Amino acid sequence: MLDIANLTIFLLVFIRIFSFLIISPFFVLPGIPALARLGLSFCLTILIYPVLPETPVSISGDLIGYILALTKETGIGLSLGILVNIIFSGIRNAGQYMDFQMGFGLANAVDPLTGAQVTIVGQFMNLLGLVFFFNIDGHHRLINALVQSYQLVPLNTAGFNYSSGLIAVKAFAGMSLLAVQISAPLLAVLIIVDLSLGFVAKAAPQINVFLLGFPLKILAGLFILFIIMPLLATPLAKVFSLMEKNMYYLLKGLS
């Protein structure tokens, strides 16, 4: 029987899961209704609640103490969701770097995940990352990470401090490095194409290098992107493993 004490604990579990889902990259799609997110959060809470560690939850201060506990659980869920978003932002930024070098920098599309304007290859890389993430059962690993979070950071025990903020900064720096590493092969080839066009302009000034270079860089960029796509599986797998490690370090910092 679900009494008031169990109901308050159930709500704490629910708010952490719901806060994580509302900011996760695959649940922020405008087409997903809020009721569906609430329903999924409720179902996950029902599944996770019985396997929680049997640690007593101490809430002091009655209503105010309980509101503070809800705030802590919301902060944990949002922090974990932001870490996941940072990884996908790195993949999307890698595509945008490619676009700028290829000449697609002004050809923007609307990102259905954020509603913001992104470049064409940036949107493609973002969707490619999502497909690969689901292909390696990343969503199951995220649910498992949520379950583990209640063991590493029991309910109403989180302590936001300098170390947890430092982990977020490191994750953001890693995202920037990730974007450069993924886009590096294509950027290197396009820089060589630019140098070659510069030599052509010197050797044959009558050739309009601008008109020649624009389609040439697009063709070279798409060709290199086609070649490196099968090779992205290994670095993306390492990236998502790094995401799990960052989540673990964040939870350890909050405990």
Q: What is residue 113's predicted lDDT score, i.e. its pLDDT? A: 53
* Tokens, residue 50: 């019985």
205: domain range? 4-254
Q: What is the pLDDT tens value at each position of the chain, 255 positions in all?
A: 456 777 888 888 888 888 888 887 777 666 677 787 888 888 888 888 887 766 666 666 677 877 888 888 888 888 888 888 888 888 888 888 888 777 776 656 555 555 556 677 778 888 888 888 888 877 888 888 888 888 877 776 766 666 666 776 777 777 777 778 888 888 888 888 888 878 877 777 777 777 777 788 888 888 888 888 888 877 788 777 777 777 777 777 666
Q: What is residue 222's predicted lDDT score, i.e. its pLDDT? A: 83
Q: What is residue 143's predicted lDDT score, i.e. its pLDDT? A: 82
Which of 207, 197, 240 is CA-nearest to residue 83?
Answer: 240
Number of domains in the chain: 1
CA-to-CA distance for 231 and 105, rounded, in angstroms? 24
11-48: per-residue pLDDT in tens?
888 888 888 888 877 776 666 777 878 888 888 888 88
Contact predicate 245/159, CB 8 Å: no
- Helix crossing, 120-135 with 138-152: angle to 10°? 70
CA-to-CA distance for 180 and 172, rounded, in angstroms? 13
DSSP 99-117: HHHHT-TT-EEE-TTT--E
CA-to-CA distance for 224 and 19, rounded, in angstroms? 39
Q: What is residue 1's predicted lDDT score, i.e. its pLDDT? A: 46
User: Nearest 5°: phi and psi at 191?
Assistant: -65, -40
Considering Cα of 74, then 39, then 43, then 82, what sign does the dihedral take?
negative
Cα→Cα distances 9→44, 56, 60, 185, 238, Å: 14, 10, 14, 50, 36
Which of 117, 175, 146 is CA-nearest to residue 248?
Answer: 146
CA-to-CA distance for 71 and 210, rounded, in angstroms? 56
Q: What is residue 60's predicted lDDT score, i.e. its pLDDT? A: 65
Q: What is residue 103's predicted lDDT score, i.e. its pLDDT? A: 72
Residue 20's contacts (CB-CB under 8 Å, 6 or more residues apart) are: 77, 78, 80, 81, 146
Q: What is residue 156's predicted lDDT score, i.e. its pLDDT? A: 67
CA-to-CA distance for 136 and 217, rounded, in angstroms? 33
Cα→Cα distances 8→49, 66, 72, 156, Å: 12, 8, 14, 12
Instruction: Please give the model's pTM, rounded to 2 decimal places.
Output: 0.77
Which of 178, 193, 156 is CA-nearest to residue 68?
Answer: 156
Residue 230's contacts (CB-CB under 8 Å, 6 or more residues apart) are: none
